[in-house]
Amino acid sequence: MKDSHINVAKIREDFQILNRKVRDGKQLIYLDNAATTQKPKPVINAICNYYMQYNANVHRAVYQLAEEATAAYESARDKVASFINGSREEIIFVRNATEAINLVAYAWGKKNVMENDKIVITELEHHSNLVPWQLLAQEKNAELKYVRVDDSGIVIDDLLEILNIGRVKLVSVAHMSNLLGTITPLEEIIKTCHEKEIPVMVDGAQSVPHLPVDVRKLNCDFMAFSAHKMLGPTGVGVLYAKKHYLENMAPFISGGDMIKEVQKYKTAWNDLPWKYEAGTSNIADVIGYGAAIDYLNEIGMQNVRNHEKEITKYALERMADIKELHIYGTKNIDNKGGIISFNFENAHPHDLAVLLDRDGIAIRSGHHCAQVLTAKLGVSATARASFYVYNSEDEIDIFINSLHKAKKILKA
């Protein structure tokens, strides 16, 4: 099967790290993209260019370097807004998706969630979309409710049953599971919640890098995602929130740049989005993030999705030949991202990851910050391979051969 959507070989030329030899001269095969992605030359060059050519703080000065830095920083915001079809005043730069979710839990949740209210999440969630709500529920003496999942994904009837009980203040749900790759039926979930006037928070950390995402079409109230999972640098995340929520929420962090006027005993907040961006921002990496979005736009997000469907389908077909291998979650490629979690019978996934590493193959092993879900699956950990635009079928073939070798060593 030949990929007809993108030129993988051409893309790989922009990723110098993919030429690296590891483990006694083995060619690196990077299959841990759900954790973080590699960075192309245009992103690295954009960051270096900022530091070498116009390093200055933003929003604070009128000299040329500062104006150039501010223009590049704010241009990245416009690129993010366009990428998800939001407006620039609804785009808040934070450190990562985790901070974005915590911002909502703190600035919106503390004001709106009261005793005996309910916060609803699912059994699919990453700890970043679980622990903040757990803490908020404990602090407010509210109740945290879980929507069950099965092999095909979220059980919608379970969600409806919980919503009908009443006093649900928020539903927070992952768009794509970081462990199973399951794509949740967000439009249906959001429509159902909005019919009961319940806002929806979306963890888009795995979906925004891999799918065309339109927040207007989804009509979500909040969405969190990170730059480093979509070819951008670490240290940059985004909170998208509808304007009327941001206008009525308190600031998350206070200090410089998020103020309009400070008097001895009172302060007037800055306009959106800067009300939520206190202090000196991560300027260089935000600019690098803008370059990452340019790169993905040049490929086309539908092409990204098509490639990942093909590469994941190919990997699943090849892995099906190894009868001792157990693959978790749906195998329906239309309802799955480029993530495959699996285990060998009677073998620990860490041991498997070490053996694959000997062949230069980087996969993740562990609970993947989703211990509620691993407990649901009846395991403490899984091995996980995850794909992106620079992964090829040749790499999958090497991965499969290495699994066969590992099976013999592990006597699985």
pLDDT at residue 398 in the model: 97
pLDDT at residue 4 in the model: 47
pLDDT at residue 305 in the model: 98
pLDDT tens-digit map of 75-95:
999 999 999 999 999 999 999
Residue 183 DSSP one-character state: B
Half-sphere exposure of 154 (CA within 13 A, CB side): 27
pLDDT at residue 1 in the model: 37
Clarify whether 369 is annotated catalytic: yes
Is the confidence at residue 268, as pLDDT, over 90? no
Is the confidence at residue 105, as pLDDT, over 90? yes
- Model pTM score: 0.95
Distance CA 115, CA 23 (A): 55
**412 falls in which pLDDT band (50, 70, 90)?**
low
Over residues 201-206, mean pLDDT: 98
3-state secondary structure of 347: coil
Length of the chain: 412
pLDDT tens-digit map of 336-348:
999 999 999 889 9
Say which CATH architecture domain 45-297 belongs to: 3-Layer(aba) Sandwich (3.40)
Domain 8-30+301-410 has CATH 3.90.1150.10: yes
Distance CA 122, CA 124 (A): 5
List 48, 193, 220, 369, catalytic entry: 369
Which residue ranges make up each domain of the chain?
8-30+301-410, 45-297
Average pLDDT, the chain: 95
Q: Which two tokens stand for residue 104?
A: 């909502």
C-alpha angle 204/210/214, rounded to 5°?
Answer: 60
3-state secondary structure of 280: coil
Is the confidence at residue 218, as pLDDT, over 70? yes
Pairing of strands 200-203, 222-226: parallel
Over residues 6-26, mean pLDDT: 96
Instruction: Collect all residues with Cβ–Cβ distance below 8 Å to 251 and sequence separation of at least 6.
Output: 107, 258, 269, 275, 276, 278
| Fold equal for 8-30+301-410 and 45-297 | no
Over residues 116-131, mean pLDDT: 97
